Amino acid sequence: MVSNTNYEPTEISKSEGRVTGPAELTVVLPTYNESKNVPIVVELLDKALAGAAWEVIVVDDNSPDGTSKVTADIAQQDPRVRIVQRIGRRGLSGACIEGMLASSSKFVAVMDADLQHDESLLPKMLEALRSESYDICVASRHVEGGDVGTGLSSIRAWGSNLANNLARKFLKVELSDPMSGFFMLRRDRFVELAPRLSSQGFKIMLDIVASGKGALRVKELPFVFRERQHGESKLDTLVTMDYLGLLVSKIFDDKISVRFLMYSMVGGTGVVVHLIALKIFLAAFGMPFGLSQLVATFVAMSSNFFLNNRLTYRDRRLTGLAWIKGLLTFYVICSFGILANVGVAELIYTNKPIWWFAGAAGAVMGAVWNYVVSNALTWRKG
């Protein structure tokens, strides 16, 4: 095999045709309910990477379909396969980061475990990185020879296009396919950037390239996005919000967390919901103003809770009884938030009677309070 690493060339065991010894490449497969796909992917990797020293790390978020168990069973037969089973956590980017950190290879790749990514591209990516001319190699559906195929619905394809243009404009990232979740990079570069990456969301590759601030040498290789065979996609349209959060957070140079931004965006929708509800109670139901305002406040709080639970805290999503408890704590926290808001606004206004400044300062104070406290109580970690 061609190898330019410093350690002794790894040996190929005669009996199985497998390369033993330290891996040069780690393929990270994030999984959620991919028990049918994992065995197939491992087999495909075995063929595609024959002769290379590789290993695979499956990072599974404790999938109910038993993906972890299936993987552990394969690992019993094949030492190149490892499993990281995460309990109580969800999220694609976080899973990829943990998988890459668990590797000690010179190169790490991230690939979907659902057969949509063409594993035959891996040797070409590896070749490009071994040449030492590139730091990261991205599989792109939009360079000559690549295609989104029929793997994406038209609405997703449209959204994907828009997202690409935003990334180019705001992050100055020159990638033909910034949404791609299929890439390989030098592990040392990844480790340097890891502290700046957001574990939330699903745009890990874009986050890596944007965090590199132009320092990473990028190679793009074309591939055709295949259709899913088993199981279903976990990325719904709400993940677009994750993306916008990442974009804004990067524009602010990571000074504001993606989570806080999403929380604030949800808060923004809450204002609109509040006004619409208020209008309905006043006009349609003819309720008195005070009561209308009170009920509208509850409608807006509930809508914020629902959206935050689906979006901002999708990785810690509350269900069942915990959902009801969460909603009640959220009401209490937000009520104190209103007090903080009004208190601060009044204090500022009495010192400096500029209505918009006092109003905005109060609103920010309320938002920060709500965020910090509901982050710690309502959507408490683990």
The verdict on 263 binding ligand GDD (CB under 6 A) reads no
Binding mask 350-369 for ligand GDD (x = CB under 6 A): --------------------
The verdict on 90 binding ligand GDD (CB under 6 A) reads yes
Residue closer to ligand GDD (CB basis): 228 or 325: 228
The verdict on 297 binding Mn ion (CB under 5 A) reads no
The verdict on 229 binding ligand GDD (CB under 6 A) reads no
Question: DSSP letter at 20?
Answer: -
The verdict on 31 binding Mn ion (CB under 5 A) reads no
* Residue showing the smallest CB distance to ligand GDD in the complex: 181
Residue closer to Mn ion (CB basis): 30 or 366: 30
Strand arrangement of the beta sheet that strand 136-140 belongs to: 81-85, 54-60, 25-31, 107-110, 183-186, 136-140, 218-222
Q: Which helix (H) or strand (E) holds 47?
A: helix 37-48
The verdict on 68 binding ligand GDD (CB under 6 A) reads no
Contacts of 161 (CB under 8 A, 6+ apart): none
What is the C-alpha to C-alpha distance for residues 146 and 302, in angstroms, rounded to an integer? 44
The verdict on 45 binding ligand GDD (CB under 6 A) reads no
Contact 365, 340 (CB under 8 A): yes
Q: Which of 10, 105, 116, 264 binds Mn ion (CB under 5 A)?
A: 116
Distance of alpha carbon 341 from its chain centroid, rounded?
32
What is the C-alpha to C-alpha distance for residues 64 and 84, in angstroms, rounded to an integer? 15
- Partner from ligand GDD, Mn ion, none contacting 95, C-beta within 5 to 8 A by type: ligand GDD
Residue closer to ligand GDD (CB basis): 243 or 281: 243
Which range, of 10-18, 89-97, 346-354, 364-372, touches ligand GDD by CB under 6 A?
A: 89-97
The verdict on 121 binding ligand GDD (CB under 6 A) reads no
Q: Which of 35, 160, 304, 341 binds ligand GDD (CB under 6 A)?
A: 160
Give bridge partners of residue 27 from the DSSP assignment: 56, 109
Least distance between ligand GDD and beta carbon 370 (Å): 26
DSSP string, 221-241: EE-BPPPP-SS-----TTHHH
Sign of CA dihedral 346, 347, 351, 352: negative
Strands 107-110 vs 183-186: parallel, antiparallel or unpaired: antiparallel
- Partner from Mn ion, ligand GDD, none contacting 61, C-beta within 5 to 8 A by type: ligand GDD
Instruction: Give the closest residue to 45 by CA, choosing from 97, 123, 126.
Output: 123
Which range, of 122-130, 188-196, 227-235, 274-282, touches ligand GDD by CB under 6 A?
A: 227-235
Token pair 């103003």 is found at: 289
Q: Which of 114, 119, 220, 242 binds Mn ion (CB under 5 A)?
A: 114
The verdict on 31 binding ligand GDD (CB under 6 A) reads yes
Contact 216, 209 (CB under 8 A): yes
Least distance between Mn ion and beta carbon 71 (Å): 18
Give the binding site for Mn ion (CB under 5 A).
112, 114, 116
